[in-house]
Amino acid sequence: MASMNDYIQQETITGVVPMTNGDRQYSFWDLFLSTSGFAIATWCYTQGAYVAQYLSFNQMLINIFSFNIIWVFIECLPIIFAVRYGIDLWIWLRAVLGQKGVALLSTVISLANFGWYAVAANLFASSMIHLAGNFGLVLDKGIWGPILGTLCVLLGTLIAVGGPEVIKWTNRFLVIALLAVGVIIVGICFAAVPLSDIMNVQPAVEGDLTPIERFMMSAEGNVAFAFSWSTQALVLPRLAKTERSGYWATTLSYGVVAPFFVATGGVMALAMFVKTGAYESDPTTMLATLSTPAFALLSLLLVAFANIGTQGTGSYVNCMIVKSGMPKLSYKLMVWIAFFYVSALTIWGGVEEYFGSFISLAAYIQGPIIGMIVVDFFLLRKQKLALRSAYFLKGHDAYQYTKGFNIVGMSCVFISLIVAVLFVYNPVTQQIQSPLFLITTGSGFTALLGGGLYWLASLTPLKAYMVRDREEITI
């Protein structure tokens, strides 16, 4: 019986069973620190350097903070139901996309999300190579990069296999390490390069772009960055004690703390540009270049451990997302499949090479879902879900739709994605296709169109197909 209780506890944590009051254990500060630890991973520096090349210092700060706050505040509104009913976003999405629709899109989005962990693994490899260099050991990056990157993924996978308790303790160290890295990097930047020099840097990427096009290209990166949290943002808030603490702890982490570290990455890139004439997205290179050997040694170690912790938390969260679509799959099996997949991405190394395209493509799938879930929660289902149908309990099939797919919901996702690529902004070629991009960005457009189409569909006779659960609402 004890093992059965353990099993139930495990399945509650992995989202297969709704959480009730007894499971809620996170105060505002518990949730804020846990989420911040996940949000301030070293990929923030990659993002910051990407944004910095387009803008002046003041415009960079507004671009990073404002676009992140606007979209994080909107995309996190569904946290209200995550706390109220103790369910993840993907459980509610069974009503919007259908059972098989969730299985398909949760897998696709997790495959995209794992690209971020390849970035973290390569930063780990880079930090280790620089560390070895500090001890006079020269490692060939072409050979040792993939080996050390895979080692990082392996160590992170072992943490993920350990489950939530191991992850909790890892995160306690992780948050301190990452905060220390951030403070050290800001300190080194301003010690090595005067603030006035950083503020006077002119954008490196001007090309044929007008100032407003550069501003919105940078905004596209920031909106895509904000969207990247959306599909995993509701996993932790289920543990929150109140709707208020769940929402504000999460939005302040993703909307303010993470952008602060992105801005740190931007400052770092500008400082390196002043010093060396090149934009640098790798904090380990910057640390090795701008700081004293002892300081560099300490901070490189922190970066290395932080990336291992990030791998562990990320593997756990993304495998839970896939599990919501395919509940029968073993969690441990998924974690090991993720290990091979992220290792392959790490060895390939293409995620950093095509960073702008990568984050926008992932956001183009997440964008329509953000728009649709906000419309569905507030306007269509008016904050009430048929939970028995959402959990596929026997005799409750309001969300089966057409062979497991909600054709209307799935159509809204794909129409939004295709229209955005063809007529607004093509993330693969990075071509602006329409002046509309200068108002909404490409990723923002997918959210607005996805939500708009879904709402318009609900004003037609299609509503009878979309909302067939009202007689089943009991909670």
Partner 1 sequence: MKEEISIEQLIADETENRLNMMEKEDYPFPERFSKADYTWVVIGVGVNLLLVILAMSG
Which residues are at the interface with partner 1 (CB under 8 A)? 4, 7-8, 11, 16-18, 20-21, 24, 58-59, 62-63, 65-67, 69-70, 73-74, 77, 80, 83-86, 211-212, 215-216, 219, 240-244, 246-248, 327-328, 387-388, 391, 393-394, 474-475
Shorter beta-carbon distance to partner 1: residue 374 or 410: 374
The closest alpha carbon to 43, from 294, 311, 290, belongs to 311
Is the separation of the CB atoms in 76 and 226 below 8 Å?
no
Residue 131's CB: how many other CB atoms inside 10 A? 19
Considering beta carbons, is residue 242 or 411 the nearer one to partner 1?
A: 242
Give least dist CB 157 to partner 1, A.
Answer: 25
In this structure, what DSSP letter does residue 396 have? -
Q: To the nearest whole angstrom, how small is the minimum distance from the Cβ of residue 281 to partner 1?
A: 23
In the complex with partner 1, the residue whose CB is nearer, 314 or 442, is 442
DSSP 170-219: HHHHHHHHHHHHHHHHHHHHHHHS-HHHHHTPPPS--TT--HHHHHHHHH
- Grouping H, G, I as helix, E, B as strand and the rest as coil, residue 240 is strand
Measured from the CB atom, is 248 or 273 closer to partner 1? 248
- For residues 202 and 474, which CB has a smaller minimum distance to partner 1 in the complex? 474
Closest approach, Cβ 220 to partner 1, in A, equals 13
Q: Are 375 and 451 in contact (CB under 8 A)?
A: yes
Rounded CA separation 209/219 (Å): 14
- Distance in angstroms (rounded) separating the CA atoms of residues 253 and 172: 15
Compute the least distance from the CB of residue 209 to partner 1, in Å: 14
- Distance, in Å, from the CA atom of 29 to the CA atom of 41, rounded to the nearest integer, reads 19
For partner 1, the closer CB: 69 or 180: 69
C-alpha–C-alpha distance, residues 328 and 467, integer Å:
27
Please report how close the Cβ of residue 463 comes to partner 1 at its closest, in angstroms: 26
CB of 163 to partner 1, least distance (A): 18
Pairwise CA distance, residues 193 & 197, whole Å? 7
**In the complex, minimum distance from the CB of residue 433 to partner 1, in angstroms, rounded to a whole number:** 19
Between residues 246 and 409, which has the closer beta carbon with respect to partner 1? 246
